[in-house]
Amino acid sequence: MVARQLRRRGIEDERVLDAMGAVRRELYVPDAERERAYADSALPLAHDQTISQPWVVAAICQGLELGGDETVLEVGTGSGYSAAVLSLLAERVWSVERIPELATSAAGVLAEDGRDNVEVVIGDGSRGLPEQAPFDAIAVHAATPDTPLGLLDQLGEGGRLVAPVAAGNSEVLMAFAREGGDLAQRTIGPVRFVPLIGKEGFDA
């Protein structure tokens, strides 16, 4: 069901499709939303946060072009669902969450789900995680006010970053790639995200 839905919306990376099918999304959604766990829609979390719809998670992962041996930074852990998917696509995942309650809950669910290559850190995700940089890929799960230059600085050579960037009253999912000092970018499509709160993001 998941793969069929995603293929119809342009997800073609077989590793991404396999990972999306392998992660039990119902483990990462609130009890009240379990019946809608596999609907292709965002679901509410505590603290006015959301779990991104499956297509958005898949589009971000596909845009990162992961081969399996990368170290990935995730900005915005939320429920831990996206980190679980990334854990099957990369060697190691560092996930930063600014809300302690969400970080603690996500870390617990990820551990119970056996995602032992994910490390959840409480902090300002808009600033990335410079002490662990450079990263091979960065996945941002909240809308940045502009091109996230601070996060792009934490990419290694050949690294890729996918983030929703504010554009008027909506957001556009953008993919960036660092190649030989140059920065290429392309548009994936329109999306809706909560704002990235922090020093390099929006004010709370």
Q: Which residues are catalytic?
A: 52
- The residue behind tokens 């960065």 is 138
Distance CA 94, CA 30 (A): 23
Position 4 pLDDT exceeds 90: no
pLDDT at 1: 52
- Token digits of residue 45: 């979390």
**Which amino acid type is present at position 204?**
A
Percent of the chain at pLDDT > 90 equals 80
Q: pLDDT, tens digit, for every residue of 13-70?
A: 999 999 999 999 999 998 888 888 778 777 888 888 888 899 999 999 999 999 999 9
Vertex 52, ends 51 and 57: CA angle to 5°?
A: 130
Rounded to the nearest integer, the mean pLDDT of the chain is 94
Distance CA 165, CA 81 (A): 21
Position 171 pLDDT exceeds 70: yes
Quickly list H helices, the chain: 2-8, 14-22, 54-64, 81-87, 100-112, 149-152
Omega within 30 of 0 (cis) for the link into 195: no
Instruction: Specify the range with the lowest mean pLDDT, choosing from 31-40, 112-121, 126-135.
Output: 31-40
* Domains in the chain, CATH or no CATH each: 2-191 (3.40.50.150)
pLDDT at 44: 80
